[in-house]
C-alpha cells in the first residue's frame, strides 16, 4: 500500500511540475534587456517633442526561427505619429527574438506607452500644446476582428522623454 501511495504522489508531483513549465523570456537577455533596448532604440523625434505627443500603441509582430521580424501590425495607436518611431525600433530588434521550440514563426503583442516628463510646475503653454495635440490626434484603431492565434503578450514598454529635447527656437 505504501508503494502505491508513494508512486501515486510521485506521479502527481511530476504532472504538476510539467504543467508549470515556464517559457524563457522571448527576448535575448530577458525583460530588463528588452526594456532597455527599446528605451535606447526608440527615437523620439523633434516633431513628437514639439507636439507634446503622448499615448499608447499596441503592436502585433511575427518573428521567425532566426529571431527576425517578418510582419508588423498596428492594433491600436493613440496617434499615427507614435507608430512610426516604434516600427523603426521594432525593425532594429531583428535577431533578438526567441520563439518556442517546434515553431517556425511566433506572434508577439507588444504595448508601448510614450509620454513626456512635465516639469513640476508646468506653464500654461505646455498644457495648451498638449491639449492641442490631444484634440487633433489621429488614432489608429482596428474595427474588424483581431485574430490573436497563439500570440504572446509581452509587458508594456514605457518611454518617457524630456521636453528639453525640444529644438532651439521653439
Is 12 a domain residue?
no
Is 6 a domain residue?
no
What's the whole-number mean pLDDT along residues 133-161? Answer: 87
Is 78 a domain residue?
yes
Is 40 a domain residue?
yes
| Number of domains making up the chain | 1
**44-60 confidence digits (pLDDT tens):** 999 999 999 999 999 99
Is 13 a domain residue?
no
If one compares 54 and 163, the residue with the highest pLDDT of the two is 54
pLDDT-derived band at 169, boundaries 50, 70, 90: very low
Enclosing domain of residue 89: 25-165
Radius of gyration of the chain (CA): 22
Among candidate residues 110, 50, 57, the one with its CA nearest the CA of residue 80 = 57
**What phi and psi values does residue 72 have, to the nearest 5 degrees?**
-125, 130
CATH number of the domain that 134 lies in? 3.30.1150
Its pTM stands at: 0.78
Q: What is the model's pLDDT at position 21?
A: 46
Amino acid at each position: 500500500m505504501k508503494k502505491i501511495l508513494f508512486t501515486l504522489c510521485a506521479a502527481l508531483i511530476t504532472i504538476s511540475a510539467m504543467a508549470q513549465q515556464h517559457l524563457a523570456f522571448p527576448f535575448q537577455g530577458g525583460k530588463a534587456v528588452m526594456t532597455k533596448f527599446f528605451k535606447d532604440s526608440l527615437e523620439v523625434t523633434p516633431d513628437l517633442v514639439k507636439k507634446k505627443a503622448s499615448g499608447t500603441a499596441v503592436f502585433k509582430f511575427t518573428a521567425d526561427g532566426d529571431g527576425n521580424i517578418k510582419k508588423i501590425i498596428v492594433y491600436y495607436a493613440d496617434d499615427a505619429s507614435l507608430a512610426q518611431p516604434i516600427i523603426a525600433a521594432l525593425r532594429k530588434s531583428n535577431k533578438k527574438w526567441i520563439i518556442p521550440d517546434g515553431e517556425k514563426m511566433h506572434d508577439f503583442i507588444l504595448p508601448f506607452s510614450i509620454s513626456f516628463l512635465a516639469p513640476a510646475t508646468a506653464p500654461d503653454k505646455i498644457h495648451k500644446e498638449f491639449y492641442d495635440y490631444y484634440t487633433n490626434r489621429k488614432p489608429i484603431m482596428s474595427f474588424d476582428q483581431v485574430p490573436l492565434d497563439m500570440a504572446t503578450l509581452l509587458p508594456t514598454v514605457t518611454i518617457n522623454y524630456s521636453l528639453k529635447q525640444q529644438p532651439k527656437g521653439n
